[in-house]
Amino acid sequence: MSASNDPVRLAGRLRAALLAADFTYDRVAQLLGRSAHEALARNETTPALRRTTGGGPLETLVRLFLLQTVVDLAAAEAALPGLVDRLAVEGFLERSVGEVAARLDVRPYAVDGDDLWVVSDLTPGLDGGPNRVGPDHVLGISAASTSLAQLTIREPVGRSLDLGTGCGVQALHLAAHSAAVVATDVNERALRLARFNVALNDLRTPVEVRGGSFFEPVRGERFDLIATNPPFVISPPTGEAAEPGAREPRLVYRDSGLPGDRVVEHIVRAAPQHLSDGGWCQVLANWIVPAGGDWQDRLADWADPECDLYVVQREVVDPPSYVELWLKDAGRHGAADYAARYDTWVSWFEEQGIEAVGFGWINLRRSGAAQPARELLEWPYDVEQPIAPALHAWITAADRPVDLDSHLRVRPDVQQETLGRPGAEHPETVVLRQQRGLRRARRADTVEAALVGACDGELSVGQILEALAQLLDLDAADTRERYLPVVRELVAEGFLET
Ligand SMILES: C[S@@+](CC[C@H](N)C(=O)[O-])C[C@H]1O[C@@H](n2cnc3c(N)ncnc32)[C@H](O)[C@@H]1O
């Protein structure tokens, strides 16, 4: 996209054309039908091509922008009246005699039921085509974007920050529940596209797009919420930082140029200075799992001791799988230098003592509490999406002290599973399992299971423990001492609610 002289006017005209053609998320999903829509999400266009042969404006826009098919000039003019030449000048389209092709991706999106559109670079690798992209490629809405969007706590806030905005997708989400949004990036093309997307969507919330690295464009400013999907790929130094000769071009959308997981460390260390009291920073991240070390210790060490810290490690990947994933993402698989690049990267992992790479969510809150809450959890299992409400409940639970006078309730979605030999009188194992949120599970002994079952808000924790001690012939004081910490864990993990 060129540095257009009047992007706001163009955005308004494009928006009107997209609306007139009904080019919205729901209408496109309806037109394609489930299986073609899902195939397209896997980068396969054939089923969608079969569903878009009618020649109407909606079909034309789907073929042009989502399926990257050449369309007739007349059909393009009908779908984008009076805009084809202007969009060609601005780099959205390429026009040849009688035909038009897309040079940027224009994609319908929906946030809280509002129809939005996102312009980004074209999705590479459709139908198994080459995956190679330029160093300043601007990603569209990726699986990682969606993952962060589902993680971000959607409470109404004052100011929010989207660090590394790319095409601006997180800023669009933040605009739905913030009074004002700042979005930053180092990539000039990303800044232009993000600004265009803000104008295209005619947002009620002011969104300011600023250029600069990490927190530099917001020096001295504070936010209630920071959401970031930073360029977190863990690799040897690239670009300028690399040795001449071993220089790997830096793909700015995924690679900060900093070695290892320094980019994530930098964000975690710097974020608290940009958070207002009670403010949140939510980071989608990769981190190093050191050989013979502990990933939890490393991450806990980065976090300001005055902040709450909640980390969920969702996946652990060994070095070869990691290197393959990202070399393929860069379109290097099968290239003449593939094996050499692979070897350099895994050797570097070995030299650095990196055993594996963790992938997950880092959540920091500037709580100001005397004893900030901390949990670094390994949880690779299926969770309910969006996960943000569960995260929010997790943190809120930490704010409420629990003692023997507390009246608690078992969360409505908690189920008890009993396991044992067929016909056995008593189960060998009792498991409490959440059906919602993180879907945590924990083994419970007889007292714990009975205690959870008795928590209906009527009796206090002390009264329940007293009754159980009597029933099971246990010492009342010992039972209190042993099970009050268990009750606190049950609340912190969301099995019981205050
Ligand atoms: C993985 S993309 C995320 C894009 C978008 N926020 C999303 O969620 O899909 C990372 C973004 O960070 C930007 N970036 C890279 N280095 C940066 C830096 N030093 N400071 C700020 N942004 C940076 C890239 O240009 C890219 O747009």
Rounded to 5 degrees, φ, ψ at 98 are 75, 0
Atom of ligand 1 nearest to the CA of 187: 25
**What are 137's two structure tokens?**
């490629």
**How far is residue 318's CA from residue 110's CA, in Å, rounded to a whole number?**
36
Instruction: Report CA(1)–ligand 1 centroid distance (Å).
Output: 18
Could you identify the atom of ligand 1 that is nearest to the CA of residue 148?
Answer: 8
For residue 255, the CA-to-ligand 1 centroid distance in Å is 9
Give the Å distances, CA to CA, from 204 to 11, 160, 172, 472: 15, 15, 11, 61
Q: How far is the CA of 10 from the centre of ligand 1 (A)?
A: 25
Mutate to test the pocket of ligand 1, among 107, 187, 189 (most ligand atoms within 8 A of CB): 187
pLDDT score for 334? 84
Q: Identify the residue whose C-alpha is closest to ligand 1 atom 26.
A: 253
> Going by DSSP bridges, is the β-strand pair 157-163/104-111 parallel, antiparallel, or unpaired?
unpaired
272-315 pLDDT, tens digit each: 999 999 999 999 999 999 999 899 999 999 999 999 999 999 99
The CA 84 to ligand 1 mean position distance, Å, reads: 30
Residue 112 CA to chain centroid, in angstroms?
A: 17
Residues in the chain: 498
Which residues lie with the beta carbon below 6 Å from any ligand 1 atom?
A: 139, 142, 145, 148, 164-166, 169-170, 184-187, 190, 213-214, 229-231, 252-254, 256
Taking the centre of ligand 1 as the mean of its atom positions, its distance from the CA of residue 455, in whole angstroms, is 46
| Ligand 1 center from residue 231 Cα (angstroms) | 5
Mutation test of ligand 1: which of 165, 169, 329, 361 has the most ligand atoms closer than 8 Å to its C-beta? 165
User: Which residues of the chain fall short of a pLDDT of 50?
Assistant: 244, 246-247
Ligand 1 center–CA 433 separation, angstroms = 37
Q: Which of 118, 174, 253 to mutate to test the pocket of ligand 1 (most atoms within 8 A of CB)?
A: 253
Going from the C-alpha of 419 to that of each of 293, 411, 429, 465, the distances in angstroms are: 35, 22, 5, 25
Return the residue whose CA atom lies nearest to atom 27 of ligand 1.
Answer: 166
Site to substitute for ligand 1 among 139, 142, 188, 210, most atoms within 8 A of C-beta:
139
Cα of 447 from ligand 1 centre, angstroms: 50
pLDDT tens-digit map of 408-460: 999 999 999 999 888 887 888 999 999 999 999 999 999 999 999 999 999 99
Q: Which residue, judged by its Cα, is nearest atom 9 of ligand 1?
A: 145
Q: Report how far ligand 1's centroid is from the alpha carbon of 86 (Å).
A: 28
Which ligand 1 atom minimizes the distance to the CA of 171? Answer: 6
* Ligand 1 atom with the shortest distance to the CA of 263: 19
* The ligand 1 atom nearest the CA atom of 136: 25
**240 CA to middle of ligand 1, Å?**
18
Ligand 1 centroid from CA 251, angstroms: 10
Tell me if 408 sits within 8 A of 494, measured CB to CB: no
From residue 20, alpha-carbon distances to 77, 80, 371 in Å are 13, 9, 56
Supply the pTM of this predicted model: 0.94
Pick the atom of ligand 1 nearest to 214's CA: 20
| CA-based radius of gyration for the chain | 26
What is the Å distance from ligand 1's center to 217 Cα?
14
